[in-house]
Amino acid sequence: MHVSPHLLLILSLALLAASPIPASSAGASGRWTVYFAPTTKQYSVRPIQDKIGVATALYADERSTNGWTRFNIETNTVYQDLVQATGAGYLEGYVTRDIIWQFWMNMLTNRWNGRTPALILAFMNVRSSFVKAKLT
């Protein structure tokens, strides 16, 4: 099965967006920091800018004025590359999850007539199984 890299990114972010993350002000414009707990290997996000975190981000939802969102991220070189890359991805997915969800719902409603295509369902099931296997 061949799937474009852009589709892989969109679907991966959609899976994160649909995952249970505690309600917060995610999606709101502002500054954000992701932290990494080495003992539990878990990431957490706070709506502040803190240079000791793994990565910091500035997010601005400007869709009502110019049709775009702005997302800038900077990682902390004190952390290993893998922790920086994972933290940056986690932070991006966390902060932008509302617009990822909106995109997904627009595609589902307007392009796929309310039914997710079989190819995408198969891909999501494979990716979900892969992630679950890595977590156990």
According to DSSP, the residues that pair with 69 across neighbouring strands are: 61
> What is the per-residue pLDDT for 136?
75
- The whole-angstrom separation of Cα 27 and Cα 47 is 10
Answer for the pair 93, 13: CB distance below 8 angstroms, yes or no.
yes
Strand ranges (DSSP E) for 7-113? Answer: 30-37, 42-46, 55-62, 68-75
What's the maximum distance between 2 C-alpha atoms anywhere in the chain?
Answer: 47
> What is the per-residue pLDDT for 20?
45
**Residue whose structure tokens are 């991220």:** 73
According to DSSP, the residues that pair with 43 across neighbouring strands are: 36
The packing angle between helices 118-135 and 5-18, to 10°, is 60
pLDDT in tens, the chain (136 residues): 454 545 545 555 555 544 444 444 556 789 999 999 999 999 999 999 999 999 999 999 998 999 999 999 999 999 999 999 999 999 999 999 999 999 999 999 999 999 999 999 999 999 999 988 988 7
Enumerate residues 6+ apart whose C-beta is below 8 A from 18. 101, 104
> What is the per-residue pLDDT for 12?
55
- The whole-angstrom separation of Cα 59 and Cα 109 is 27
> What is the per-residue pLDDT for 131?
87
> What is the per-residue pLDDT for 26?
55
Structural domains in the chain plus CATH codes: 1-21+100-136 (no CATH), 28-95 (2.10.70.60)
> What is the per-residue pLDDT for 135?
81
